Amino acid sequence: MEHLFDDQDWEIVPAGGATGEAFFAQYQEQKLFLKRNSSPFLAVLSAEGIVPKLVWTKRIENGDVITAQHWLKGRELDPDEMKSERVAKLLNKIHSSKPLLSMLERLGQEPFQPEHMLAEIETSVEFDLLSLPIVRQALHFLQQELHQMQHEEYVVCHGDVNHNNWLLSDDNQLFLIDWDGAMIADPAIDLGMLLYWYLPEDQWENYLNQYGVPLTDELRVRMQWYVVAQTLLSIQWHKAKGRFHEMNHWIEYLHKIL
């Protein structure tokens, strides 16, 4: 990494994260966020103002591509701030963006279908989890309601809109970061997670009005379906990692949403 800055004495440190491909770079008052082999999708996210500005992209000798973004001082949103109108508006901007959709299509992304998600759950959830009545009930719900999951308008979805991935900069700019799981899918994937996790149900209609769609019975079913599916996948993921406290948390959450 250091040889990207031959002319200056930059300090480069790992930024953490699961992949180990991200770094912070600093020289005097200049600060950058570096990432190895980011998708070309990052350039469109930057142009649309959804992530901090992309400063440059460089290919290095081994063929890797390094991207540099402005490193902004700021903080993640508090859970209560997820109810704000500006979050709803930015999510709508993402879901409505033709440039984002066009780029993912050019990168070969196929629309993510609910039957794919159900098939993943049916093959990955382990037998001892299926011995739990609530897990069997959740799986039965997904199978029974699959016929209601057809939706014509597929958009770019983030896939993990929890409050940790929303960045509010010190100069009051809002961004949605960490796009590694981006997909072309039903917007109910993002909306369901956001509403179920952060808003009481009596606020859903007003929030969706700010986002720009009505709260219909059809949307309710689609949001619930995806939240149940994501919860089952979370239960299995935490079990596989031996994180049983988190696994039990999501098992309890299934009781709540069913």
**Residue 201: CATH number of its domain:** 3.90.1200.10
Instruction: Specify the range with the lowest mean pLDDT, choosing from 131-140, 146-155, 197-206.
Output: 146-155
Distances in whole angstroms, Cα of residue 227 to Cα of each of 12, 77, 126, 230, 250? 39, 21, 19, 5, 11
Order of strands, sheet of 174-176, starting from the edge strand that comes earlier in the sequence: 74-76, 166-169, 174-176
| Residue 96 shares a structural domain with residue 51 | no
Active-site position among 7, 9, 80, 160: 160
143 and 195 both lie in a single domain: yes
Which has the higher per-residue pLDDT, 11 or 56?
A: 56
In this structure, are 88 and 64 located in the same domain?
no
Higher pLDDT residue, 201 or 66?
A: 201
We report the CATH number of the domain holding residue 32 as 3.30.200.20
Regarding predicted confidence, which is higher, 91 or 37? Answer: 91
Distance in angstroms between the alpha carbons of the first and the last residue of the chain: 49
DSSP line for 99-156: HHHHHHHHTTPPP--HHHHHHHHHHHS-HHHHTSHHHHHHHHHHHHHGGG---S--EE
49, 71, 93: which is the final residue of a domain? 71
In this structure, the answer to whether residues 174 and 51 fall within a common structural domain is no
Give the C-alpha separation, 193 to 187, whole Å: 10
CA distance 116 to 99: 25
Residue 112's nearest CA partner among 186, 187, 191 is 186
Give yes or no for residue 82 having a pLDDT over 70: yes
Q: What is the mean pLDDT of residues 229-256?
A: 97
Predicted confidence (pLDDT) at residue 247 exceeds the cutoff of 90 = yes
What pLDDT is attached to residue 7? 55
Are 253 and 202 contained in the same domain?
yes
Write the pLDDT tens digit of every residue in 189-241: 999 999 999 999 999 999 999 999 999 999 999 999 999 999 999 999 999 99
Parent domain of 140: 80-257
Q: 152 with 39, same domain?
A: no
Do 12 and 61 have their domain in common? Answer: yes
Residue 95 predicted with pLDDT over 90: yes
Measured from the Cβ of residue 178, the count of other Cβ atoms closer than 10 Å reads 17
160 is catalytic: yes
How many Cβ atoms are within 10 Å of 201's Cβ, its own excluded? 10
